[in-house]
Amino acid sequence: MNQSTNQLTDWGIQEVSGVGRVEGPIVVVERAGNVGYDEVVEVIDSQGRMRRGRVLEVGEKMAVVEVFSGTSGLTIDGTHIRFLGQSLHIPVAEEMLGRIFDGTGNPIDGGPQPLASTFADINGQPINPTSRVYPRDYIQTGISAIDGMNTLVMGQKLPLFSGAGLPHDQLAAQIVRQATLGSPAGESPKQAQQFAIVFAAMGVKHDVAEYFRNAFAESGALTRVAMFLNLADDPPVERLVTPRAALTLAEYLAFDRQMHVLVVLTDMTNYCEALRQISNVRGEVPSRKGYPGYLYSDLASLYERTGRVKTSEGSITQIPILTMPSDDITHPVPDLTGYITEGQIVLGRNLNHQNIYPPISVLPSLSRLMKDGIGAGHTRGDHSHLSAQLYAAYAHMQDVRSLASVIGEEELGAVDQQFLKFGRAFEREFVGQSPTENRTIEQTLDLGWKLLSMLPKEELTRVSPDEIKRYYKEPHDTN
């Protein structure tokens, strides 16, 4: 990785006393000459307490600074600003696994500062598209709705689109706990691949952070997790740094230390709100719902820090979590996320009401990289057709269901009644499973065929006649 060469380029430290204007989290410093764009600053109040910030805009003898931990207590004349002459860097080291940090990368678990010989710029650098390795190795999560229908691939960014009150935390914890490098159905798993986990919390509640910590501890994963916590009552501006710090460590582990890294970012909606807050204070022209016009680029600068590169065996797989305000998938945060990430897993309130866990709404969910991570040699030869058939049948079932709610189930034709039965079984048996159930890919695929066998053969136009011959169970077999 290049970032190791990104040493502290010293632009010289300078100090300025007194600021011109304080507004929300923003401080405008006058009389500051020779300040670099995006430089880190230390803001020292009249009591001598230090907080950090960074430069958002520079002019001649003027700099606009955002202060990570808020501006309360700052005075116009009594505030000292120290410009550190470099962009924000954090130490990165393998021993940061097993540790807990605040939102800007300082340890908060009582342990010492990690010993690190490498300091990396939290902004990272864009991966050259020609250096990427196209992700093709699937990750077995043991969850049928993911493995069977929206397969996760190593090096993919696949967000969970959720809503308030839905079990996204539980699902994310289950994925982290069960994720292993996948192997073809029926073959014994390759040497158990352990993922390193980098967890970043932006503005989440204390108990959510605690839930994840416990979940990691219970599964014995704690020693390979690095947690970056910015909690709900921590300063919002700090949230802009948290995912970047986490991804900087992830890049170091994946591309310098050749590890497979799973990154969980939660909750991206809080992150975006912090971004909007800063944008509003600066009086920028808003686009949709008050979010700045550069929200897409800003999110991309996080999500695109995922993948595999030719120069390393390691990989970064991202699972961002976001809650859709009032379950609206067209809200700017899920919308722009969906345009950047390689698919999405959508949780549905309806399924949740029926007590189906995990309540994954299969139809709006998608994994873009699935097509190259499945099939013979990866999972099983029939996987692609099977999932397309399940999708088509389940989509048709939705139409039948809405028809049934108008004319009544008895009025439906015989075939449509079979579809209805199939749909119910699909939701209960295929999508639904217990939070501790870890299904192999073979179990998932066989279950899919068992459910398809509830439908007449002639209706199955997405699977080939050979596959039907091989996997379809005639009605008398299933009884």
Partner 1 sequence: MSQQFGNITWVNGPVIRARGSRDVSMLEQVEVGDERLVGEIIGLNGDSITIQVYEETTGMRPGAPVFGTGLPLSVELGPGLLRSIYDGIQRPLPIIERETGSFIDRGVHMNPLDRIEHWSYNPILKEGEQVKGGEILGTVQETENFEHRIMVPPNVSGTLTWVAPAKKYTIDEVIARVKTERGERELTMIQRWPVRRLRPYKARLGQNIPLITGQRVLDMLFPVSKGGTAAIPGAFGAGKTVTQHSIAKWADADIVVYIGCGERGNEMTEVLQEFPHLIDPRNGRPLMERTVLIANTSNMPVAAREASIYTGITIAEYFRDMGYHVALMADSTSRWAEALREVSGRLEEMPAEEGYPAYLAARLAEFYERAGYVETLNGKQGSISVIGAVSPPGGDFSEPVTQHTKRYIRCFWALDKSLASARHFPSINWLESYSEYTEDVAGWWREKVGQDWLKMRNHAVELLSEESRLSQIVKLVGPDALPDEQRLVLETSRIIREGFLQQNAMDNIDAYSDIHKQIAMMNLMLHFHERAERIIKRGANIGTIHALPIVNVLIRMKEQIPNNELEKLDDIRKTLDEQMDQLEAEYR
Write down the least CB distance from residue 94 to partner 1, Å: 20
Residues 6+ apart with CB under 8 A from 171: 143, 160, 345, 347, 358, 360
CA distance 246 to 201: 10
Span 14-43, contacts to partner 1 by CB under 8 A = 33-39
Residue 73 or 126 with smaller CB distance to partner 1: 126
Rounded to 5 degrees, φ, ψ at 240 are -70, -20
Label residues 123-156 b or e (16+ Cβ within 10 Å = b): bbeebeeeeeeebbbbbbbbbbbbbbbbbbbbbb
Span 171-190, contacts to partner 1 by CB under 8 A = none
Residue 37 or 106 with smaller CB distance to partner 1: 37
Q: Does 293 bind partner 1 (CB under 8 A)?
A: yes
| CA-wise closest residue to 228 among 175, 302, 136, 174 | 302
Distance between alpha carbon 183 and the CA centroid of its chain, in Å? 24
CA distance 98 to 445: 36
Q: Does 7 bind partner 1 (CB under 8 A)?
A: no
Instruction: Return the residue of 23, 59, 350, 376 that touches partner 1, per CB under 8 A.
Output: 59
Site pattern 303..322 for partner 1 (x: CB under 8 A): xxx-x-xxxx----------
Tokens 């598209």 appear where? Answer: 129
Residue 43 or 120 with smaller CB distance to partner 1: 120
Query: What is the sign, positive or negative, of the torsion defined by CA atoms of 314, 317, 38, 84?
Result: negative
Write down the least CB distance from residue 287 to partner 1, Å: 4
Write down the least CB distance from residue 41 to partner 1, Å: 13
Q: Does 474 bind partner 1 (CB under 8 A)?
A: no
Per the DSSP assignment, residues forming a β-bridge with 50 are: 44
Q: How many Å is the Cα radius of gyration of the chain?
A: 25
Secondary element (H or E) of residue 321: strand 315-323
Write down the least CB distance from residue 318 to partner 1, Å: 12
* Residue 242 amino acid letter: T
Of the ranges 23-31, 108-116, 167-175, 359-367, which one interacts with partner 1 (CB under 8 A)? Answer: 359-367
Q: Does 340 bind partner 1 (CB under 8 A)?
A: yes
Residue 31 or 205 with smaller CB distance to partner 1: 31
Write down the least CB distance from residue 412 to partner 1, Å: 7
Q: Does 369 bind partner 1 (CB under 8 A)?
A: yes
Q: Does 281 bind partner 1 (CB under 8 A)?
A: no
- What's 152-213 look like in SS3? EECCCECCEEECCCCCHHHHHHHHHHHCEECCCCCCCCCCCCCCEEEEEEEEECHHHHHHHH
Q: Does 87 bind partner 1 (CB under 8 A)?
A: yes
Instruction: Return the residue of 10, 47, 48, 60 that touches partner 1, per CB under 8 A.
Output: 60
Residues 6+ apart with CB under 8 A from 214: none
Residue 5 or 355 with smaller CB distance to partner 1: 5
Site pattern 393..432 for partner 1 (x: CB under 8 A): --xx--x--xx--xx---xxx-------------------
Q: Does 134 bind partner 1 (CB under 8 A)?
A: yes
Write down the least CB distance from residue 309 to partner 1, Å: 4
Residue 118 or 440 with smaller CB distance to partner 1: 118
Span 146-165, contacts to partner 1 by CB under 8 A = 155-156
Span 99-128, contacts to partner 1 by CB under 8 A = 121, 123-128
Instruction: Return the residue of 113, 461, 478, 479 that touches partner 1, per CB under 8 A.
Output: 461
Secondary element (H or E) of residue 260: strand 260-266
Q: Does 458 bind partner 1 (CB under 8 A)?
A: yes
* Cα dist from 20 to 41, 77, 371, 436, whole Å: 16, 8, 56, 57
Write down the least CB distance from residue 423 to partner 1, Å: 13
CA distance 240 to 217: 27
Write down the least CB distance from residue 209 to partner 1, Å: 28
Q: Does 330 bind partner 1 (CB under 8 A)?
A: yes
Residue 159 or 203 with smaller CB distance to partner 1: 159
Residue 41 or 209 with smaller CB distance to partner 1: 41
Span 193-252, contacts to partner 1 by CB under 8 A = none
CA distance 268 to 275: 11
| CA-wise closest residue to 86 among 44, 122, 50, 38 | 38
CA distance 345 to 163: 12
Of the ranges 93-101, 197-205, 330-338, 448-456, which one interacts with partner 1 (CB under 8 A)? Answer: 330-338
CA distance 66 to 196: 32
Secondary element (H or E) of residue 421: helix 414-425
Write down the least CB distance from residue 461 to partner 1, Å: 5
